[in-house]
Structure 1
Amino acid sequence: MSLASTSVVQALDIADARHWTRKPPTRPEARLRHLLRAQTATTLAPRLFCSPQALTRWARGDTADLSAANAALIEREIYRTWQPEVRRRAHRQILQHDGCVIVQLQARFAFTTTSGEFHDPRLRRLTEELPAAHASLLFHARHEDAGEDDLRRVLADGIGEAYFFRALPPHQQQAAATITDLHHIQFHY
């Protein structure tokens, strides 16, 4: 899987892969067998944009009609679900030992203050350490399978506190940042 991502979910999954204790299967049929142990073909098929019959056929080894797009979706799903307990343990250890969660991103932002909402047309390239409270919220949301929008909201709040609003006086802390256009994101922890 590429290290560059435009999705917070995928960027977290890629960063979590650095903590795995063993590698996931590499062949599509082995990956599908692993995925089908945890969920039914009917449940998994919509996530992979295929039919349940195709999933069971591919898991048996008949991958003649498996497209590159389907293989990429299977790989994404493996990254999303592989070693959940190792992932949780790594997140817990990072947070308990004041470990830093660094986010590197290229994005456009909007800002909401008491005087209104402002869209910044600049594409900003930032590398920031998330505050511990926001890193904890981000990990918790990821464990709860929160959607991309929820994760972006938590991330934007953390970036806002760490970068944009750190110099604001206390009476102006009600400002909020929103990620409007995400071009690239990577996490390091």
Structure 2
Amino acid sequence: MTTTITSVAHSLDLADARHWTHRPPRSPAARIRHLLRNQDTEALAHRLFAYPAAVARWADGDTSTLSPSQAALLEREIIRTWQTHARYTAHQRILDHHGCVAVQLHARFTYSTLQGEFDDPRLRHLTEELPQPHRRALFEAHRHNAGEDRLRRILADGIGEAYFFHGLAPDQQQAAITISDLHSVRFHY
């Protein structure tokens, strides 16, 4: 059973995982030790909703108090931080060689026009290739740890250009698209 991903950042991390040159550590203790090389115990404890003393115990190998939800957060943290250079290199290859960045999403949209703002009640299932400027902006924003709102704004602009305004002259594109309700998102590149 596949899990539904509603975070643009996490979906980008999962797509980046396809470009890793080797796998991350498997055991929780090894993962904690790896993460502690790049951040202090306090910061990692905050991200895992744990006490710093518990994180120190987990790093020493005693993972008996690691809850399933904390293990899932640990997995997500490893995916988020593993092989940053390999993912940056993959992004550059995609951008420099006009590679495809496809996005598959299930969402509702809001349109802002000169006449006002309109909610579309339809739940749309779209698969589109993001235009080049939006690919670059999305990769850059994610690399600089932009918030989910910023990533959704970039994605909405890209979907607007690729799907809603495809074929229209720039002067006819007088609406802005916003993702009002994101049910799932998946990237392929």
Opposite residue 57 of structure 1, the aligned amino acid is: R
1:48 match: 48
2:6 match: 6
Counterparts of 1:32-111 in structure 2, within 5 Å, are 32-111=32-111
Q: Distance in 1 between matches of 2:15 and 2:4?
A: 11
2:119 match: 119
Deviates more, 1:36-45 or 1:11-20: 36-45
TM-score by length of 2: 0.96
1:129 match: 129
**Deviation of 1:54 (Å):** 0.8
Opposite residue 23 of structure 2, the aligned amino acid is: K
CA-atom RMSD in angstroms: 1.1
2:173 match: 173
Q: Distance in 2 between matches of 1:4 and 1:23?
A: 23
In the alignment, is the contact (CA less than 8 A) between 1:113 and 1:176 conserved in 2?
yes
TM-score by length of 1: 0.96
**Deviation of 1:133 (Å):** 0.5
Q: Distance in 1 between matches of 2:170 and 2:92?
A: 31
Task: Return 5+ residue gaps in structure 2 as ranges.
Answer: none
Seq. identity, %: 62
Opposite residue 82 of structure 1, the aligned amino acid is: W
User: Can you list the C-alpha shifts for 1:96-148, whole angstroms capped at 9, x where unaligned?
Assistant: 00001000000000011111111001100000000010000000001000011
Q: Distance in 2 between matches of 1:146 and 1:171?
A: 30
Aligned residues: 188
2:23 match: 23
Task: Return 5+ residue gaps in structure 1 as ranges.
Answer: none
CA 1:3/1:24 → structure 2, altered by over 3 Å: closer, same or farther? farther
1:184 match: 184
**Deviation of 1:169 (Å):** 4.1
Q: Distance in 1 between matches of 2:181 and 2:173?
A: 23
In the alignment, is the contact (CA less than 8 A) between 1:4 and 1:11 conserved in 2?
no
In the alignment, is the contact (CA less than 8 A) between 1:101 and 1:135 conserved in 2?
yes
Q: Distance in 2 between matches of 1:154 and 1:141?
A: 9
In the alignment, is the contact (CA less than 8 A) between 1:138 and 1:155 conserved in 2?
yes
User: Can you list the C-alpha shifts for 1:14-51, whole angstroms capped at 9, x where unaligned?
Assistant: 00000000000111111000000111011111111111
**Deviation of 1:79 (Å):** 0.3
SS of alignment partner, residue 151 of structure 1: helix
CA 1:170/1:38 → structure 2, altered by over 3 Å: closer, same or farther? closer
1:160 match: 160
Q: Distance in 2 between matches of 1:105 and 1:129?
A: 11
In the alignment, is the contact (CA less than 8 A) between 1:4 and 1:186 conserved in 2?
no
